[in-house]
């Protein structure tokens, strides 16, 4: 008696054959598979890191909006750098003091805080530290005062 193959049985046979090929490929090329997995993990980690930093860093335009809404600007640079030029109404609180003294900001946990440094690296850490301390509205100026100056925004001396 002749065998009748239906489309479903051909598809199942093809799928089984393809899976066998994939398993054989994985067994024959473990370094390629390890490289693909490592690349996937690296991209995933990098993307998750970018997303978490994106919630902390704000652009200069967003910083101006926050300042206009009454944000408290915290300049974490050294006093001599602060004296050379700073954002209007910014408070100079040294990075070391913020790390040691939780009361340096006067417990204004409901206020919007904008941390500023020279290039944006220190202020990002400060914003993260403030958020861990309970300041939910703590942000960092992306690019720091260098980005502020690049956008020709005003500074006070």
**What residues act catalytically?**
117
- Which candidate, 128, 110, 124, 109, places its Cα nearest to that of 57? 124
Residue 35 contacts residue 77 (beta carbons within 8 Å): no
- Which candidate, 80, 100, 153, places its Cα nearest to that of 114? 153
How far is CA 37 from its chain centroid?
Answer: 23
Q: Is 54 exposed, middle or buried (0-12, 13-18, 19+ CB in 10 A)?
A: exposed
3-class secondary-structure state, position 76: coil
CA distance linking residue 77 with residue 97, whole number of Å: 11
3-class secondary-structure state, position 107: coil
């Amino acid at each position: 008696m002749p065998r009748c193959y239906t489309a479903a049985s051909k598809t199942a046979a093809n799928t089984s054959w393809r899976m066998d090929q994939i398993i054989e490929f994985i067994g024959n090329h473990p370094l390629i598979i390890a490289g693909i997995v490592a690349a996937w993990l690296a991209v995933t980690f990098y993307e998750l890191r970018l997303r978490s930093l994106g919630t902390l860093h704000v652009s200069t335009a967003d910083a101006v909006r926050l300042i206009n809404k009454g944000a408290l600007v915290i300049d974490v640079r050294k006093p001599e750098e602060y004296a050379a030029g700073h954002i209007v109404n910014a408070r100079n609180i040294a990075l070391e003091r913020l790390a040691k003294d939780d009361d340096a900001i006067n417990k204004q946990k409901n206020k919007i805080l904008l941390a500023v440094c020279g290039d944006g690296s220190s202020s990002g850490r400060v914003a993260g530290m403030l958020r861990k301390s309970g300041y939910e509205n703590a942000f960092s100026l992306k690019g720091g005062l260098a980005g502020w100056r690049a956008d020709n925004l005003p500074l006070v001396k």
